[in-house]
Structure 1
Amino acid sequence: MVIVRFVGGPLGGLVLERTGPRWPGGWMGLEGGHWGLYRVVHSTPGTLVAECILIGPPLSTA
């Protein structure tokens, strides 16, 4: 399990627990909200810190 801590952008302050291979970063967003392009800026065993580098338009709920 890896814990991803989000800094800035639409997911700023949230924490995600995930399994599987190391997460390289990418587009993340919440339904009805904006997208954020996140990159990993710090990594320790079991924890990643992801910083928002770009914000996209709101996601469609249709």
Structure 2
Amino acid sequence: MPMVELILKLKVLLLVLPWLLICKFLYKPADFTEPSVFYNSLDYHPEDYIDTFTTLQQEDYFQ
């Protein structure tokens, strides 16, 4: 039985290892941490919606 487990582990390793190497060399954290990506993805500016705030939201926002 240990031989079967070893073969199974090797198959899994051979299946996963190429993807790990691809991710290691192609992944660039800078692609996901640039401020422009973050700010451009946020399309919510509370200042544009102040007229629709409830009293509680206005009190919370303007503290």
Instruction: Please confirm whether the aligned pair reaches a TM-score higher than 0.5, indicating the same fold.
Output: no
Higher helix share: 2
Higher relative contact order (CA 8 A, sep 6+): 1
- Scaled by the length of structure 1, what TM-score is found? 0.17
Q: Which of these two proteins has the greater Rg computed from alpha carbons?
A: 2
Higher strand share: 1
